[in-house]
Structure 1
Amino acid sequence: MKLQFLRNATLKLDYAGLTILIDPDFGPKHSRPSFTGRSPNPMTELPITTNEILDGVELVLVSHLHADHFDKVAQDLVPKHLPLICQPGDEEKIRSFGFSNVTPLTDELVVNGILLTRREGNHGSGPVLDKMGQVMGFTIEADGEPSIYWAGDTILYPPVRETIETTQPDIVITHSCGAKWDDILIVMDAEQTVEVCRIAPEKTKIIATHMEALDHATVTRDDLQAFAEPSDIGKHRLIIPDDGEPLHLTAPNA
């Protein structure tokens, strides 16, 4: 399995013979407004061209319709014929962008021998939840490949813990920038990410993403690394990739 982290939540995944693009955000640096007044968004450029990102892509997964997960540039550039999987309730909006092969992930779906399962997520807590709207995570499984839990835009709360405990994934991908809205945490921060490392099985690698791209983030890569240092979480378990960095991973028993 090859996973290339691109920027923010955007990933390109070569998995069980299929090339998957997750949450494409293609906007140029500073092309969208600031959330906090600190900087226009996104705060960084993509590490490779959109043509390189789209090369070979056979399936697109969109967790929700916030601009940093499926922006207008990506809506225009991603080929409209590609199969696209989204959370229930977003399919008609995505079809209105011109996409012709849109399937909501209501529970489980098998694509080319890959099992996709929808997982719950809370994009914050309390009064901010209505503002953030519904989101989803998902697990990905296939014979001979490491099992993946892509948690998505969620804080660490009981359903996320339960997913880790029940699925025992080989890889957990977290969004760990500590972004806040109305001063309320809307994705995991350093403390919650290290807690994921603690509750996950010893075999599990945690890949922390979604950092240093948006101006309402409060945790940098260095912040997370520094917070994790005093714990017993070894570097072999917590991976904090740079934009554009490819990771080659195998199932523990492969």
Structure 2
Amino acid sequence: MAAPEIKLTAQLTLDVADSRPPTKPEANAQAQVGPMPIPHEHKVHPTSPGGENATLTFIGTATTLFEWQGLRIMTDPNFLHAGDHVHLGPGVTAKRLTNPSVPLNQLPPIHLVLLSHYHEDHFDKLVEDRLRRDLPIITTPHAAHHLTAAQYKGEPFTALTALDTWEAADISAGDAKLRVTAMPGKHVAPGLTEMVNKALGAVPPTNGWMVELCGAGNTPYRIYISGDTLMVDKLRTIPRRFPHVDLMLVHLGGTTIPAPNIPLLMVTMDAEQGIQLVHLIKPDITIPIHYDDYDVFMSPLKDFQDLIKNAGLDQKVVYLNRGDQYLFKV
């Protein structure tokens, strides 16, 4: 079967000189907005260090910051603290167990947000209330609808770009040129469960992302972000279109619902599915995220680490604690 064709749906120009904080002015009244705190630890490529000109900072859950060529991209902003709860569907809540490495009101300027789906552990109510309304966000059509409708408040977000699977946006930001392509993902396994979910609208549709950073060479630096997906057949189309991936962020955790003591349905990859994805995509480096921040995560990171070690892939994985930074070369 031929690889799916990429459909370009948007061309965006971002102002990297914009030094405004990502939150609304009233949300920053007491904030010290400025540079990111000094990372707890710097990490580089295990076997090919040198020439680093870009960074990835892990904040917590699926929230990361990419910085390259003056451009700063944030993924799935979730800034609740330990003890806070999120709503994940009808009758389903989860308690956060960790703190983000930096508070929302102390973020440096953000130029673009990649939002994989409209779930509170990826875009919490604090974020939805306080983020600047003209902050550019690339997300799913489902999430874009909710954020522009602003059903609970009078201020809709105004700079949404909705991408469905295999649709792409070309982005210019100063000297930075990149393309963001929506990758397939399934939060709920195909079959009867998916049919029931569509009828109830309980678990939202989700995207992964392929972010291609276009440096000086002809080959872009590719970052694949899995998003909250299970290991489903649609993912097998990705290597046909993108045979080489430099860096993969894999969402793990084995998220189970409706509750920790009633784990009826798994909606994100556990360790076994995670290593299946590593074998499928064959990235140069994998960084696991989204694995221990909520009480619905049932697959500990150690299970993934053990499988990686047994597969002899230790030199292909970098582990980041919250607040750590990975430096890489584009």
TM-score by length of 2: 0.69
Structure 1 residue 215: Cα displacement: 0.9
The one-letter amino acid of 1:186's match is V
> Structure 2 vs 1, CA of residues 128 and 250 (structure 1 numbering), >3 Å: closer, same or farther?
farther
More relative contact order, 1 or 2 (CA 8 Å, 6+ apart) = 2
Q: Which runs of no fewer than 5 residues in structure 1 stay unpaired?
A: none
Q: Distance in 1 between matches of 2:104 and 2:188?
A: 30
Q: Distance in 2 between matches of 1:139 and 1:33?
A: 27
Number of the residue aligned with 1:225: 305
3-state secondary structure, aligned to 1:118: strand
Aligned residue among 267, 272, 287 for 1:191: 272
Structure 1 residue 41: Cα displacement: 1.5
> Structure 2 vs 1, CA of residues 102 and 240 (structure 1 numbering), >3 Å: closer, same or farther?
same
C-alpha contact (below 8 Å) 2:87/2:120 kept by paired residues? no
- Could you tell which deviates more after superposition, 93-102 or 59-68? 93-102
> Structure 2 vs 1, CA of residues 248 and 98 (structure 1 numbering), >3 Å: closer, same or farther?
same
Q: Distance in 2 between matches of 1:174 and 1:120?
A: 14
Larger Rg: 2
Structure 1 residue 161: Cα displacement: 2.5
Aligned residue among 200, 204, 207 for 1:133: 204
Q: Which runs of no fewer than 5 residues in structure 2 stay unpaired?
A: 1-53, 258-262
1:154 paired to 2:218: no
1:237 paired to 2:316: yes
Structure 1 residue 249: Cα displacement: 1.5
Deviations 1:169-199 (A, max 9, x none): 1111111111123523211111111122223
Deviations 1:109-141 (A, max 9, x none): 111121011111001314443232311111111
Q: Distance in 2 between matches of 1:197 and 1:242?
A: 20
The one-letter amino acid of 1:225's match is Q
Number of the residue aligned with 1:216: 296
Structure 1 residue 74: Cα displacement: 0.8
Deviations 1:83-124 (A, max 9, x none): 111111322311215322112124111111210111110013
Q: Distance in 2 between matches of 1:237 and 1:162?
A: 22
3-state secondary structure, aligned to 1:156: coil
Q: Distance in 2 between matches of 1:241 and 1:161?
A: 27
Matches within 5 A, 1:1-254: 1-32=54-85, 41-52=95-106, 54-95=107-148, 96=150, 98-106=156-164, 107-112=167-172, 113-125=177-189, 126-129=191-194, 130=197, 131-144=202-215, 146-167=221-242, 168-181=244-257, 182-201=263-282, 204-234=284-314, 236-251=315-330
Q: Distance in 1 between matches of 2:118 and 2:147?
A: 9
Q: Distance in 2 between matches of 1:14 and 1:232?
A: 30
The one-letter amino acid of 1:224's match is F
Identity %: 24
TM-score by length of 1: 0.88
